[in-house]
Amino acid sequence: MTLSAERLVLGYRGPASPRTIVPELSLSLSRGAIHCLVGPNGCGKSTLLKALAGVLTPLSGRVCLEGRELAQWGHRPLARRLALLPQNPEAPEDITVRQLVAHGRFAHQGLFGRSSAADRAAVADALALTGMAGLQNREFQALSGGERQRAWVALALAQQADYLLLDEPTTFLDIGHQLEVLSLLRQLNRDRGLTVAMVLHDLNQASEYADRLLVMDQGRLQADGRPAEVLTPALLRRVFGIEAAWVMQQHDGRRHPQMMARLPAQERATETGDADVFG
Amino acid sequence: MELDNRELSCRATVLALFCLLLAAAATLISLAWGERWLAPQQVLQALRDSGDGVDGFVVQQLRLPRAVTAVLVGAALGMAGTLVQSITRNPLGTPDLMGVSAGASFAIVLGYLVLGLPPATLLPLGTAGGFAAGLLTFAVAWQTRLNPTYLLLAGMSIALFFFAAITLLLVTADTGANGIYYWLTGSLMNRTWDHVHQLYPLVVPGLVLGMAFARVLDLLTLDELTTAAVGLPVQRWRLVLGLLAVVLTAATVAVAGPIGFVGLVAPHLVRLALRRSAGGALPHRWLLPLSALTGAALVALADCVARLVGVPVGILCVLLGGPLLVLLVRRQGGAG
Amino acid sequence: MAAANAETVVAERGGTVRRWPALAMLVVMLLALVLASLRLGTVALDWGTLYRGMVSANPADFPVLWNLRLPRTLLAVVVGAQFALSGLILQRVIRNPLADPGVVGVSGGAGLAVVILLLLSDLLPGVAAGVGLAGLPWAALVGGLMVAALVLALAWRNGLAPARLALTGIAVGAVLNAAVMWVVVVWGGSRTETTLMWLAGSLYGRDFSHLWLLLPWTLAGLLALLPALKPLSLLRFGDHQAQTLGLAVQRWRLLALAVAVVLAASAVAVAGPMGFVGLIVPHLARLLARGSFAAQVPVCLLLGGVLTLAADIVGRTLASPLELPAGALTTLLGIPVLLYLLIKQGGRS
């Protein structure tokens, strides 16, 4: 009983014929795991994520949470279980961080509800977890890119949903803040049992943080499993068009797989030197 | 949001009291002033008497309904303006841009000038015409999931269409164009209790409903996906709140002519007045009632002045509100 | 590298190719309308008369054609094109799809100036003899330019922020329109219809003198726009982006606004505030032919001419001998098309 998609067909309705982006896809998230969705640009990752979150109606097929179709959950009950951080969210002028994060409590309050002690605690918790407590009274528009992204993560956390879907949560962040967000998600996953599904671009980070890695290309799932098993040189060549290999690196007392990649040989015929890595 | 900013509460209350005072003063002057000049005690006396005396008749039957109409119209337009600006996320949104004023005006001009209907039928006809035009706007934009830009474009197009149709009717009409033109400038002259009875069953519930949905309006100012993700069906609420604005506006246009400028100005005045103390976005919990009050004060004041100088109230609203808006926009300066 | 170049070329050519059918269609429509406009009216001219009149060495023999139809037809095309271009520029510069020549105060200023002049000539017959109706376009031009300058001055504060400009323009425009209505209501009386007719925008009784008054402004506007085409395309990316691309944002914005104002004010001066053309046509153009700003300019010019001329023809033939104002008819004709395109395009978004 988890979040699952059955024979999902996704796309956007045009005036004449719909533009299909995901032809047919079935998928079931693992409860309590971190899922990373990777794939080349335009492969349908974000579209799939939106459908899983229930903000995009499938052309056919269905998405179910605990066996019940998302549309039958009702908007607010669903938002209490499932939070989505979209790719380019927009905030209104003048809004403060705290006001923004408090919007995440809507599903718990209802149309007319005032905020309760539980709401305030959840907002404070979300702000503290993301390290935004000190900035809570600042205007959102005055924040740096990294701070903005953390504020959006805080909004999603304030929903206190047990499924967290994030579309490229590390964009606009420097490497330190990227790792902070990813570690935060892992911490929430380990401590609170959150099920996380996110679109990531960095394959190293995806393989580091994912319990389960889903590789998409042209709207289809090309591979699904543990990162080490999934990201084979053959798959990376087929999906991303790169020549890649994994090397084990010693760091911090542990051995980490590290991907080395380059474009296929004919594009770089004049350059040599790192052939031993791929050999 | 849940942190009730104390400075904001104070200044908002002061603003509310100021608006109330302004509206009350304007109403009192409206009741006292006229062919027959009454002192304040005489006004109060006249309000209490049975209405048989001359003073009683003048105040209760002639002046009071006009003053009440002004307040109701202003409050409705202030509220409607806020609703439209918030659901379209466009500071230039006004109730006019839903096509309502134009539709209502067209229905009334058609009924009066072409069909020659009796005045009593014009009021409901105007409301119905305004509502129909508003529905048309939403129908055109429905396919885009009520995308704000499309909604405004559709509304503006429909408004322009009906205003052009009115122009044609006026230009081709043999007689009566001047009278109806006067109505088209927005006027509260000779409004009776009939008008009030027409107005309040739509306006009062509309105001209450609008304020009840303050939380929803706060959320609608976020982008569409985020709003949906936190649990609000965006399209449905844009429709519900948009139609609420349509009803409020249609009711006022039928009674007072198109004076939609109030709807544009009132929310801006409130936002600009409280900008420094809000410490963030002004929550609709404050913005909605204050816009309604500001609208009411604006129209009451404008009507009061209108009676003194003999200019239609719609024109005066613009002459008062326009410069105020320019001034505030200039003072706000730094932003943008 | 070669592959990338080929791709760009294909993309560019693709963009142009899609635009040509629309342009060709508009040119054909415009020519057909011009012919129809020359023929139709209270006195219909047959093809033979039309041909003889056009090639005749002595225009005085064909007064209907040369004194009425031809100048009016040309004016409709030029005025429509000017309004459309002005609207296109304003919507781009203010970055708001609701912008039209009314937003910078042009229509309001011109309207008030004309109404005041009419009022004065009524009160002071001596002035009427001196200035007369010939003075109307000049009054409108001066009024429009002055108010536009006022709006720009009021909105200027270390530059022109689009939102501030739009709000200021709408406020000033509304105040002026209210003033116009006030004057009409208080003093209009039996002349309400005449004034309304002018305010609705009409080409009734226009002759070559109006065209000569208009053309210098048309040429000046178009010439000033040429160097601004590229910068205007860049303005779409937002101020900061445009600035880093090397654009002096405020300077170009001001120039573009000045061009829009001149085009609109001179058009208002001869035809009355047909501002709706400026609102509708850029949207129609965008829906018909996508592309850069420069690509939309010709579409807009042609479409503005087509719409206004069509409205003028309908206006003087539909209820003949009664004249219907072309300004109102452009709206009645243009809006259904716009709504249709909106619905059609809406399904795609």
Please give the average per-residue pLDDT across C57-64, as a whole number: 75
Q: What is the rounded CA–CA span in Å between residue B131 and residue B239?
A: 13
pLDDT at residue A267, as a whole number: 53
Is it true that the peptide bond before C63 is cis, omega within 30 degrees of 0?
no
Task: Find the helix or strand (DSSP H, E) in which A165 lies.
Answer: strand A163-167
Q: What DSSP string describes C84-137? A: HHHHHHHHHHHT-TT--GGGGTHHHHHHHHHHHHHHHHHH-HHHHHHHTGGGHH
Say how many C-beta atoms besides its own lie within 10 A of residue A269's C-beta: 7
Q: What is the rounded CA–CA span in Å between residue A72 and residue A67?
A: 11
**Confidence label for A101 from pLDDT (cuts 50, 70 and 90):** very high
C328 touching B, CB under 8 A? yes
Choose among C272, C261, C269, C260: nearest CA to C315. C272
pLDDT at residue B240, as a whole number: 93
Residues of B in contact with A53 (CB under 8 A): 229
Are residues B219 and A106, on separate chains, in Cβ contact within 8 Å?
yes
Give the Å distances, CA to CA, from B149 to B140, B315, C236.
12, 28, 16
- Enumerate neighbours of B (3 or more CB pairs within 8 A): A, C
The per-residue pLDDT of chain A, averaged, comes to 86
pLDDT at residue B255, as a whole number: 87
Contacts of B117 (CB under 8 A, 6+ apart): B111, B125
pLDDT at residue A9, as a whole number: 92
**Between A and C, how many CB-CB pairs are < 8 A?**
6
As given in the structure block, the two tokens for residue B223 are 């982008």
Strand-strand pairing, A243-251 and A3-12? unpaired
**Between A and B, how many CB-CB pairs are < 8 A?**
99
ipTM more than 0.90? no
Are residues A13 and C347, on separate chains, in Cβ contact within 8 Å?
yes
Residues belonging to chain B: 336
Query: Per mean pLDDT, which range of A97-106, A267-276, B201-210 is the poorest?
Result: A267-276
Contact predicate A96/A112, CB 8 Å: no
Instruction: Give how far the C-alpha of residue C231 lies from the chain's centroid of Cα atoms, to the nearest Å.
Output: 22
**Confidence label for C270 from pLDDT (cuts 50, 70 and 90):** confident
Residue type, A162: D
Angle at A116 between CA A111 and CA A117, to 5 degrees: 160
pLDDT at residue A211, as a whole number: 94
| C140: region left, alpha or beta (phi > 0 left; psi from -120 to 50 alpha) | alpha
Residue type, C251: R
Are residues B157 and C342, on separate chains, in Cβ contact within 8 Å?
yes
CA nearest to C341 within chain A: A15
A33 has a pLDDT exceeding 70:
yes
DSSP 3-state assignment of B199?
helix
pLDDT at residue A224, as a whole number: 92
Task: Find the helix or strand (DSSP H, E) in which A11 lies.
Answer: strand A3-12
- Give phi and psi for B156, each to the nearest 5: -65, -40
Choose among A215, A214, A212, A211: nearest CA to A237. A215
Instruction: Identify residues of C whose CB sits under 8 angstroms from chain A CBs.
Output: 344, 347-348
Q: What is the rounded CA–CA span in Å between residue C39 and residue A115?
A: 73
Strand-strand pairing, A60-65 and A68-69? antiparallel
pLDDT in tens, A120-134: 999 999 999 988 999
As given in the structure block, the two tokens for residue B96 are 């006019």
Query: Per mean pLDDT, which range of A133-137, A139-143, C286-290 is the poorest?
Result: C286-290
Contact predicate C261/C217, CB 8 Å: no
Beta bridge partners of A245: A260
Choose among C154, C140, C193, C170: nearest CA to C322. C193
C180 Cα to chain B: minimum distance (Å):
9
Angle at B226 between CA B223 and CA B229, to 5 degrees: 145
Q: What is the rounded CA–CA span in Å between residue B306 and residue B308?
A: 5
Contact predicate A69/A44, CB 8 Å: no
As given in the structure block, the two tokens for residue B177 are 């164009």
Mutate to test the interface with B, among C91, C107, C152, C192 (most CBs of B within 10 A): C192
C161 vs A276, more confident: C161
Strand-strand pairing, A3-12 and A60-65? antiparallel
B194 has a pLDDT exceeding 60:
yes
DSSP 3-state assignment of A241?
coil
Contact predicate C87/C281, CB 8 Å: yes
Contacts of B191 (CB under 8 A, 6+ apart): B65, B66, B69, B255, B256
Strand-strand pairing, A195-199 and A163-167? parallel
B179 has a pLDDT exceeding 80:
no
Are residues C171 and B326, on separate chains, in Cβ contact within 8 Å?
yes
Mutate to test the interface with B, among C95, C316, C331, C337 (most CBs of B within 10 A): C331
Residues of A in contact with C348 (CB under 8 A): 14-15
pLDDT in tens, C82-134: 999 999 998 888 777 767 787 788 888 888 887 887 777 766 666 555 555 56
Say how many C-beta atoms besides its own lie within 10 A of residue B12's C-beta: 23
pLDDT in tens, B182-193: 777 777 877 888
Are residues B329 and C168, on separate chains, in Cβ contact within 8 Å?
yes
Place of tokens 């809000």: B278
Are residues B2 and A95, on separate chains, in Cβ contact within 8 Å?
no
Sign of the dihedral through C-alpha B26, B28, B32, B35? positive
DSSP 3-state assignment of A68?
strand
As given in the structure block, the two tokens for residue B100 are 């309502």
Instruction: Give how far the C-alpha of residue B5 lies from the chain's centroid of Cα atoms, to the nearest Å.
Output: 29
Q: What is the rounded CA–CA span in Å between residue B210 and residue B212?
A: 5
Contact predicate B47/B64, CB 8 Å: yes
| Residue among A76, A114, A123 whose CB faces B231 most closely | A76
C165 has a pLDDT exceeding 70:
yes
C246: Cα within 13 Å, side-chain hemisphere: 1
Q: pTM for the full model?
A: 0.79
Choose among C172, C196, C182, C168: nearest CA to B314. C182
Contact predicate B257/B187, CB 8 Å: yes
Tell me what percent of the residues of chain C surpass a pLDDT of 70. 83
A75 Cα to chain B: minimum distance (Å):
5
Sign of the dihedral through C-alpha C283, C287, C293, C299? negative
User: Which of B:265-284 have CB within 8 Å of A?
Assistant: 275, 278-283
pLDDT in tens, B44-57: 888 887 767 788 88
The H helix count followed by the E strand count for chain B is: 15, 0
| A160: region left, alpha or beta (phi > 0 left; psi from -120 to 50 alpha) | left
Angle at B332 between CA B329 and CA B336, to 5 degrees: 90
Q: What DSSP string describes A111-141? A: SSPPP-HHHHHHHHHHHHHTT-GGGTTSBGG
Residues belonging to chain A: 279
DSSP type of residue A223: E
